[in-house]
Amino acid sequence: MKTKVTQPTEKMLLCGKRVAECRKEMGYSQEQLIEEIIALPENNGKPRNEKQISYIESGSRTLSIEYAHLIAKVLHVNESYLLGESEYKTDSDHIKAVAQSTTNEDIACYALMEALGYKFINLKISQDGTKTSMHRRFKYLRINTDDTDEQILEKAHDAEPVRYYIIEDPEGRRAHINLDDLIRMEQAIRDYTIFQLEQPFKLIHRLEKMVKKTPNTSPDSP
């Protein structure tokens, strides 16, 4: 019986490269990584073998969502990064990237909000004008109904802090929004502004189409 050979795809090679990279950064051998995975409560006692990690890292085996979750748990990285679905290894990397990529459009959005009477409270203002929230108190936990107190404490310890922002309206009321909500808010402001600015040009475009469709007639035409 012939052994089935799986041809590595670009995605499989990327996933394997990222698993190997993160494993080495943590100082684990493939055997040590497997030992840590086996010890996880989420593994549910399933047998594992270091050859599986070797196959994944070489790109000859697909990294499953289940395995990505377990490996990410041990290596303290995002499973979406291991699966090649995100460029951010950790949530902290994502936050830093967003903070560093502030553009003139972002600054204009903040200026518009503040001009309308909405203020962001306790923001750190960098020399380049970018603003970063100093609030990092919350952690998002995925808790199962059968989790023990020990497991919940472990999840709380391992979870990444979630950055949130305090926004105050003209009446002095305050609300909390997280980073994802803030990004969506900025995008919505940009999208609506562009939509309104494009309206006169859309009208011109419609008129031009109407003119082209209108027959060219003159009083002298038979």
**β-strands 164-168, 123-125: how paired?**
unpaired
> CATH top-level class for 10-89?
mainly alpha
Distance of CA 157 to the CA centre of its chain: 21
The confidence score (pLDDT) of residue 9 equals 85
The confidence score (pLDDT) of residue 138 equals 57
The confidence score (pLDDT) of residue 3 equals 35
- With tokens 């909500």, the residue in question is 181
The confidence score (pLDDT) of residue 28 equals 92
The confidence score (pLDDT) of residue 165 equals 77
The confidence score (pLDDT) of residue 2 equals 36
The confidence score (pLDDT) of residue 124 equals 58
Low-confidence ranges of the chain (pLDDT < 50): 1-6
**Is residue 111 a contact partner of residue 120, using CB atoms and an 8 Å limit?**
no
Sign, CA torsion 19/20/21/25: positive
pTM of the predicted model as reported, rounded to 2 decimal places? 0.46
Can you give the residue ranges of every domain in the chain? 10-89, 96-206
Nearest-5° Cα angle at 191, 187 to 195: 170
The confidence score (pLDDT) of residue 122 equals 61
The confidence score (pLDDT) of residue 29 equals 93
The confidence score (pLDDT) of residue 4 equals 41
- With tokens 């972002």, the residue in question is 106
